[in-house]
């Protein structure tokens, strides 16, 4: 009992356990209220500390509240009921709070009450408070008043679970907890019950104290409303080895979509409830620790109509908040079989790698073009040329720097560059090994490019002067190269 309580739940696990139970009771509406503690500093309930949290519904009340509170009873839950062990709501409640109160109203209008307290559950023998058995009603609770104040339908059937004396202190104020509940993140109600909310089978509302409740919208966890999203897989599946039926879907989120990687992976849906997001092993297709850098833009969904189909290949762990890979061969098959996740993912990963490589190459080309433009500005100044007047004349003649047109190649490979007097461009020779290596976008470094540009410009200008029978000393040449390297790296 202690092992099933400690270390297995947080406040959202408790909410999910409660909502699961309410949903299986055929509830159509669930209300989650956060009650404030008294705050001497302010009367603002939203920013007050948390006194208690209530989750209430309008479902069919259990025939016997006492049976419902038994630990680990066999409830003979049907295959379309995600409940499995008979401990979830009780263990989750006592994992996050010291006290949990259950209030129900049946079709005859009878209100029943029971309380579980961690200290009494841990005692030998474990006990709980049940006024129906003759236990005195705790002085700090009025079930009728709670029902009239917070019930979804005070004149109808339903169940209410209230936790108090919270030990989960993740959220310090009522407002922060309500906002946390409303996030469209894996494990939160908007994702877990997305299908039920979308098709109108379930309404979930949140609020603080007795104020107005706000309806929770279904989360678009597959990104179907994101502009540019693509559905790249949508098909039924059948794993013959285990006679297992399921449906799979996968979407591809456009590159650059904010927060896309945080929701990447494969969602597991059982009985219309999204119970888990597998971000590490992707249904066992990959080993733990595998990098998914090229997969995060993908969101998959595998849907099992009921627990029976799910359990043919997986198991529940951590009280239905994660899964176990009970049949590793299923992950291998899902990775390799035609038309399943693995082959679709492989195609998309290949495309994503190429896209990123092209994007990186384009970014580098853009960088080089900016460097070339800046280099031309330096060539337009007299300072780099030193005292050589013939070289200085080029400061007004040079209009650009770039690669020589391959359709009109420079005659010798040893020539690094020429000056084109018609266009005013210094054109480097792509057939020169040093130039093509040091100025290539895929392999060069900024210092290599700065050096190569300096040599190319100096060689081109000195060569142009030589053709006009004007000699340039080795010292002036070296000064020009040195100055052009410095201004490029400055």
Q: Which phi and psi (to 5°) does residue 339 adopt?
A: 85, 0
Average of per-residue pLDDT values in the chain: 90
Query: Is 391 found in the same domain as 328?
Result: no
Number of independent structural domains in the chain: 3
Query: Is 418 found in the same domain as 278?
Result: no
CATH code, domain carrying 298: 3.30.230
pLDDT at 318: 56
Confidence of residue 487 (pLDDT cuts 50, 70, 90): confident
Provide, rounded to the nearest whole percent, the portion of the chain with pLDDT above 90.
Answer: 71
Single residue among 215, 246, 272 that ends a domain in this structure: 215
**How many whole angstroms separate alpha carbon 269 and alpha carbon 283?**
12
Does residue 64 register a pLDDT over 90?
no
pLDDT at 44: 82
**6 against 251, higher pLDDT:** 251
Provide, rounded to the nearest whole percent, the portion of the chain with pLDDT above 70.
Answer: 91
Confidence of residue 372 (pLDDT cuts 50, 70, 90): very high
Does residue 317 register a pLDDT over 80?
no
Mean pLDDT of 355-360: 92
Query: Is 424 found in the same domain as 477?
Result: yes
Does residue 237 register a pLDDT over 90?
yes
**How many whole angstroms separate alpha carbon 300 and alpha carbon 291?**
17
How many degrees, rounded to 5, is the angle at CA 148 between CA 146 and CA 150? 60
Does residue 311 register a pLDDT over 60?
yes
250 is in which domain, residue-wise?
Answer: 230-350
Contacts of 6 (CB under 8 A, 6+ apart): 95
Mapped onto helix, strand or coil, the DSSP state of residue 451 is: helix
pLDDT at 301: 98
Nearest residue to 116 (alpha-carbon basis) of 71, 74, 157: 71
Single residue among 330, 350, 370 that ends a domain in this structure: 350
Residue 84 forms part of a structural domain: yes
Residue 368 forms part of a structural domain: no
CATH code, domain carrying 164: 3.30.565
Residue 363 forms part of a structural domain: no
Residue 364 forms part of a structural domain: no
Least confident window among 39-53, 156-170, 195-209, 319-333: 39-53
pLDDT at 17: 84
Query: Is 127 found in the same domain as 9?
Result: yes
Mean pLDDT of 233-238: 97
pLDDT at 277: 95
Mean pLDDT of 281-292: 95
Nearest residue to 239 (alpha-carbon basis) of 335, 341, 334: 334
pLDDT at 95: 86
Sign of CA dihedral 397, 402, 405, 410: positive
Does residue 60 register a pLDDT over 70?
yes
pLDDT at 259: 84
Query: Is 277 found in the same domain as 156?
Result: no
Residue 360 forms part of a structural domain: no
**489 against 347, higher pLDDT:** 347
Nearest residue to 400 (alpha-carbon basis) of 385, 422, 432, 416: 422
Does residue 77 register a pLDDT over 70?
no
Tokens of 450: 């700065």
Does residue 25 register a pLDDT over 80?
no
Residue 270 forms part of a structural domain: yes
Print the SS3 string covering the chain. CHHHHCCCCCHHHHHHHHHHHHHHCCCCEEEEEEEECCCCCCCCHHHCCEEEEEEEECCCCCCCHHHHHCCCCCCCCCCCCCCCCCCHHHHHHHHHEEEEEEEEECCCCCEEEEEEEHHHHHCCCCCCECHHHCCCCCCCCCHHHHHHHHCCCCCCCEEEEEEEEECCCCCCCHHHHHHHHHCCCCCCHHHHCHHHHHCCCCEEEEEECCCCCEECCCCCCCCCCCCCCEEEEEEEEEEHHHCEEEEEEEEECCCCCCCHHHHCEEEEEECCEEEEEECCCCCCCCCCCCCCCCCCCEEEEEEECCHHHHCCCCEEECCCCEEECCCHHHHHHHHHCCCCHHHHHHHHHHHHHHHHHHHHHHHHHHHHHHHHHHHHHHHCCCHHHCCCHHHHHHHHCCCEEEECCCCCCCCCCCCCEEEECCCCEEEECCCCHHHHHHCCCCCCCHHHHHHHHHHHHHHHHHHHHHHCCCCCCHHHHHHHHHHHHHHHHC
Does residue 274 register a pLDDT over 60?
yes
pLDDT at 260: 84
The pTM for the full model equals: 0.82
pLDDT at 62: 60
Query: What distance lies between CA 117 and its chain's CA centroid?
Result: 37
Query: Is 128 found in the same domain as 32?
Result: yes
**279 against 440, higher pLDDT:** 279
Does residue 6 register a pLDDT over 80?
no
Query: Is 255 found in the same domain as 160?
Result: no
Query: Is 259 found in the same domain as 147?
Result: no
Single residue among 333, 350, 367 that ends a domain in this structure: 350
Residue 255 forms part of a structural domain: yes
**How many whole angstroms separate alpha carbon 8 and alpha carbon 272?**
23
Does residue 441 register a pLDDT over 70?
yes
pLDDT at 278: 95
Does residue 444 register a pLDDT over 90?
no
**19 against 461, higher pLDDT:** 461
Query: Is 193 found in the same domain as 235?
Result: no
pLDDT at 165: 93
pLDDT at 85: 54
β-pair partners for 215: 205
Query: Is 450 found in the same domain as 404?
Result: yes
Query: Is 420 found in the same domain as 340?
Result: no
pLDDT at 411: 85
Tokens of 481: 């190269």
Residue 465 forms part of a structural domain: yes
pLDDT at 320: 65
Query: Is 211 found in the same domain as 308?
Result: no
> pLDDT tens across 404-425, in order?
998 888 888 999 999 999 999 9
Mean pLDDT of 369-376: 95
Does residue 110 register a pLDDT over 80?
yes
Contact 402, 427 (CB under 8 A): yes
């Amino acid at each position: 009992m202690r092992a099933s309580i400690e270390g297995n739940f947080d406040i959202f696990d408790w909410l999910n356990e409660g909502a699961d139970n309410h949903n299986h009771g055929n509830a159509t509406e669930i209300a989650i209220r956060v009650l404030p503690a008294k705050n001497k500093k302010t009367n603002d309930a939203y920013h007050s500390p948390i006194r208690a949290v209530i989750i209430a519904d309008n479902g069919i009340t259990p025939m016997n509240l006492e049976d419902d509170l038994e630990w680990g009873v066999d409830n003979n839950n049907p295959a379309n009921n995600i409940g499995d062990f008979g401990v979830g709501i009780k263990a989750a409640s006592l994992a996050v709070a010291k006290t949990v109160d259950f209030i129900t109203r049946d079709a005859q209008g009878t209100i029943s009450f029971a309380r579980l307290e961690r200290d009494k559950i841990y005692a030998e023998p474990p006990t709980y408070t049940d006024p129906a058995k003759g236990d005195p009603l705790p002085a700090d609770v009025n079930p009728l008043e709670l029902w009239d104040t917070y019930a979804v339908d005070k004149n109808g059937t339903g169940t209410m679970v209230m936790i108090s004396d919270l030990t989960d202190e993740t959220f310090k104020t009522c407002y922060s907890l309500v906002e946390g509940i409303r996030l469209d993140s894996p494990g939160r109600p908007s994702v877990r019950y997305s299908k039920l909310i979308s098709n109108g089978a379930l309404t979930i509302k949140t609020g603080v104290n007795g104020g107005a409740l706000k309806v929770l919208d279904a989360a678009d966890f597959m990104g179907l409303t994101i502009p540019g999203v693509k559905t790249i897989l949508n098909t039924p599946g059948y794993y013959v080895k285990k006679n297992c039926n399921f449906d799979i879907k996968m979407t591809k989120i456009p590159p650059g979509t904010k927060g896309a990687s945080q929701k990447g992976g494969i969602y597991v849906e059982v009985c219309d409830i999204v119970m888990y997001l597998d971000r590490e092993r992707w249904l066992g297709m990959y080993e733990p620790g595998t990098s998914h850098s090229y997969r995060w833009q993908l969101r998959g969904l595998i849907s099992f109509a009921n627990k029976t189909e799910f359990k043919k290949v997986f198991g529940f762990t951590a009280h239905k908040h994660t899964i176990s890979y009970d049949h590793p061969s299923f992950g291998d098959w899902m990775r390799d079989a035609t038309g399943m996740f693995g082959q679709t993912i492989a195609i998309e990963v290949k495309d994503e790698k190429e896209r990123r490589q092209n994007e990186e190459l384009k970014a580098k080309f853009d960088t080089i073009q900016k460097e070339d433009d800046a280099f031309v500005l330096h060539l337009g100044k007299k300072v780099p040329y030193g005292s050589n007047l013939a070289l200085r004349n080029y400061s007004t003649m040079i209009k650009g720097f770039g690669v020589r047109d391959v359709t009109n190649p420079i005659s010798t490979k040893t020539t690094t560059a020429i000056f084109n007097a018609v266009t005013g461009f210094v054109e480097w020779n792509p057939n020169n090994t040093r130039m093509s290596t040091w100025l290539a976008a895929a392999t060069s470094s900024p210092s290599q490019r700065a050096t190569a540009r300096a040599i190319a410009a100096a060689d081109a200008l000195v060569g142009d002067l030589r053709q006009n029978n004007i000699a340039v000393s080795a010292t002036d040449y070296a000064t020009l190269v040195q100055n052009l390297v410095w201004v490029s790296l400055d």
